[in-house]
Amino acid sequence: MCGIVGYAGTAAANEILLKGLERLEYRGYDSAGIALVNGDGVHVYKEKGRIAILRDSMDQAQPGPVGIGHTRWATHGAPSQVNAHPHQSRSGRFTLVHNGVIENYEYVQREYLADVEMVSDTDTEIIVQLIEKFANEDGMQTEEAFRKTLSLLKGSYATALLDELNPETIYVGKNKSPLLVGLADGVNVVASDAMAMLQVTNEFVEIMDGEMVIVTRDDVQIKSVDGDTVTRDSYIAEIDSTDIEKGTYPHFMLKEIEEQPFTMRNIITKYKDENENIKLDEHIRQAVLDADRIYIIAAGTSFNAGLVGKEMIEKIAQIPVETHIASEFLYNMPILSQNPLFIFISQSGETADCRGVLVNVKELGHKTLTITNVPGSTLSREADYTLHTYAGPEIAVASTKAYTAQMAVLAILSVDTARAKGIEIDFDPMQQLGIVANAMDIFMEKKDELEQMARDYLSVTRNCFYIGRGMDYHVCMEASLKLKEISYIQAEGFAGGELKHGTIALIEEGTPVVGLATQESVHLNLRGNMKEVVARGANPLMISMEGFEEADDKIVIPRVHELFTPLVSVIPMQFIAYYAALHRGCDVDKPRNLAKSVTVE
């Protein structure tokens, strides 16, 4: 979703800000803008559409050493040039970018700005107009006017402000939305995430909710809500900048699909100690052991991983688990057990729906654990404990390697808990993950076949169904999400036995139905369900596992432990979704309407 960058240094800010915005592109956006300070004031450039368009429009921009930039994912007001950020105050003195949602913007407008004509339809514009009002009418200094304005806002914001009268300073405020300040020699920067400013520095400072930061090229002052100076250590972001480049791959999604065997092996290394035992923080182990019930909270693909995680934890560690969609749980909390543990699964660690739940359950005093790919993220910082998925930056909007990494970490956690409880486990999770990695490798060699299947089944279809049972059903939900989000084919994942209770009415002559059968107890039932749809004209694409295969199966996954099958069976599904989107001419890495990091509720 929206992303922010800021630069205060000596070099020309134009290119650095544009590069920063390009690195935020993966979050999803529909317009972009930059404000540059140069010799004769603040100049705003903003455009609807891709950053390439903004870049072109800045062709003649006079370089300056200070600036702020923004990618906007529309919430209030359509994607348009006028609604794009930065926004300026009436006189043009103040210029501001904002990420988040101001819930009380209509109230603020009515109460304080009734005499100010708004230019845009955004919730953001009131912030910059109010700052100017306090500065002009109440004679406040910029810092004071900014603090007073922020204190009146309800909702989430990460925001950066320029004042034409103090052109060397960027004023920054944060509440709930992610924001970091980066430090370098004679240069300081602001960014929604570290990746955006890696070209300048890898040293960052976290900003906490309610804080304000005054950033110049030589100084960074963090201030509390009350205006007191805060000191905080910086940290080094351990991201290799080559990880965030596509290299020779045409798309990040393809690169990330192919990175999955490596990710599995990486996870094995990170979670194994020198005695080949599972390496896990003792406090995390104890928190899981203390739990009488685990509540997994997640969204989208991470929710789908959570469904598999439930099966793993219940079957291996024998602790009851409920997996909930974060946005539902937030406003409909079920009756909780006596000693719950909340596990948040989030690739980005920034998903606002999850964060809402985290804040609520922390207030209730419950223990929290985040499983994330971004250890410095909000959900990671705010939970009691974090488990890292070690997948490396995931840039494509469609999540692939994060999903399999989340399930791998959940498997390790399950086995660790089982062992700590004295439950006999007849397999070694690390060895199983090694087998999984090898099985994944096989599909990397079968891309041509999978591409052909995508052509045969999905080139022209309007819809597609995925059916499975047990673990396979959860993979079908993920496979259908993958297909619909990038190819825009209406795709649904169903429990094989449930289809005949209504959905089978949608099966027509030629409707593609992907059947997945890897689970011993139900694979024959699933084949029965496939026969039911074939009898009604469906075009079947059957995926099974070695040992359960039949002659007409299109894909047979190598034999892996039954509880680890989702990590392998999803790979051909990801490839098929990728190629289907490609052949339908879709923008694979940046599907329409979607954002990578969903930082608003």
State the catalytic residues.
2, 596
Provide the minimum distance between the beta carbon of 122 and ligand F6R in the complex, in angstroms, as a whole number: 23
Largest separation between any pair of C-alpha atoms in the chain: 81
Output 126 or 299, the one with its CB closest to ligand F6R: 299
CB 240, min distance to ligand F6R, A: 20
- The least distance separating ligand F6R from the CB of residue 125, rounded to whole angstroms, comes to 27
* Encoded tokens for 528: 């029965």
Q: Tell me if 301 contacts ligand F6R by CB under 6 A.
A: yes
Distance CA 60, CA 464 (A): 49
The residue assigned the tokens 């920063």 is 20
Amino acid found at 154 = K
Neighbouring C-beta atoms of residue 28, cutoff 10 Å: 21
| 441-500: contacts with ligand F6R (CB under 6 A) | 481, 485
Positions in 503-562 near ligand F6R (CB under 6 A): none
| Residue closer to ligand F6R, measured from CB, 159 or 599 | 599
Among 143, 598, 599, 600, binds ligand F6R (CB under 6 A): 598
Task: Give CA–CA dist 392/196, Å, rounded.
Answer: 15
Q: Which residue has the tokens 């006999």?
A: 424
Burial call 570-594: b when 16+ CB within 10 Å, e when fewer: bbbbbbbbbbbbbebebebbbbeeb
**Based on CB atoms, which residue is closest to ligand F6R, 5 or 354?**
354
Find the binding residues for ligand F6R in span 391-450 (CB under 6 A): 398-399
CA torsion through residues 370, 374, 375, 379, sign: negative
Residue 530 backbone phi and psi in degrees, to 5: -65, -40
Single residue of 99, 192, 327, 348 touching ligand F6R by CB under 6 A: 348
Q: How far is the CB of 343 from ligand F6R (least distance, A)?
A: 13
CA dist 161 and 182 (Å) reads 16
Shortest CB 234 distance to ligand F6R, Å? 25
CB contact at 8 A, 54 and 67: no
Among residues 127 and 464, whose Cβ is nearest to ligand F6R?
Answer: 464
Sheet with 41-48: list strands edge to edge.
41-48, 31-38, 66-72, 3-8, 187-191, 180-184, 203-206, 235-236
Stretch that binds ligand F6R, among 263-271, 340-348, 434-442, 551-559 (CB under 6 A): 340-348
Least separation in angstroms between residue 473's CB and ligand F6R is: 18
Cα radius of gyration rounded to whole Å, the chain: 25
Check if the beta carbon of residue 253 is closer than 8 Å to that of residue 483.
no
Among residues 1 and 278, whose Cβ is nearest to ligand F6R? 1
Closer residue to ligand F6R in complex, CB, 161/379:
379
Q: What distances in angstroms separate CA 362 from CA 275, 341, 359, 384, 562, one per listed residue?
A: 36, 11, 5, 9, 35
Binding status of residue 300 toward ligand F6R by CB under 6 A: yes
C-beta of 399: minimal distance to ligand F6R in Å? 3
Q: How far is the CB of 482 from ligand F6R (least distance, A)?
A: 6
Residue 346 interacting with ligand F6R (CB under 6 A)? yes
Residue of the chain from 347, 414, 417, 511 that contacts ligand F6R (CB under 6 A): 347
Cα–Cα distance measured from residue 363 to residue 282, given in angstroms and rounded to the nearest whole number: 24
Residue 260 sits in the site that holds ligand F6R (CB under 6 A): no
66 phi/psi in degrees, rounded to 5: -135, 140
Q: Of the two residues 38 and 346, which places its CB atom closer to ligand F6R in the complex?
A: 346
Continuous H helices in 193-251: none
299 lines the binding site for ligand F6R (CB under 6 A)? yes
Residues 6+ apart with CB under 8 A from 575: 257, 443, 447, 450, 451, 454
What DSSP element (H or E) covers 87? strand 87-88
The residue among 483 and 517 lying less far from ligand F6R, judged by its C-beta, is: 483
370 touches ligand F6R (CB under 6 A): no
Stretch that binds ligand F6R, among 87-95, 236-244, 347-355, 433-441 (CB under 6 A): 347-355
* Residue number, nearest CB to ligand F6R: 300
474 in Cβ contact with 307 (< 8 Å) = yes
| Smallest distance from ligand F6R to CB 179, Å | 17
Our finding on whether 599 is near ligand F6R (CB under 6 A) is no
Binding footprint of ligand F6R, residue count (CB under 6 A): 14
Find the binding residues for ligand F6R in span 60-99 (CB under 6 A). Answer: none
Task: Please state whether the peptide bond connecting residue 178 to the residue before it is cis, i.e. omega within 30 degrees of 0.
Answer: no
- Choices 160-168, 295-303, 492-500, 528-536 (CB under 6 A): range interacting with ligand F6R: 295-303
Binding to ligand F6R (CB under 6 A) within 350-369 occurs at 351, 354
* Closer residue to ligand F6R in complex, CB, 182/300: 300
Give alpha helix (H) positions in 58-197: 105-112, 125-137, 142-152
Given 31, 38, 129, 302, the residue binding ligand F6R (CB under 6 A) = 302
Contact, 268 vs 430, CB < 8 A?
A: yes
- Residues near ligand F6R (CB under 6 A) are 299-302, 346-348, 351, 354, 398-399, 481, 485, 598
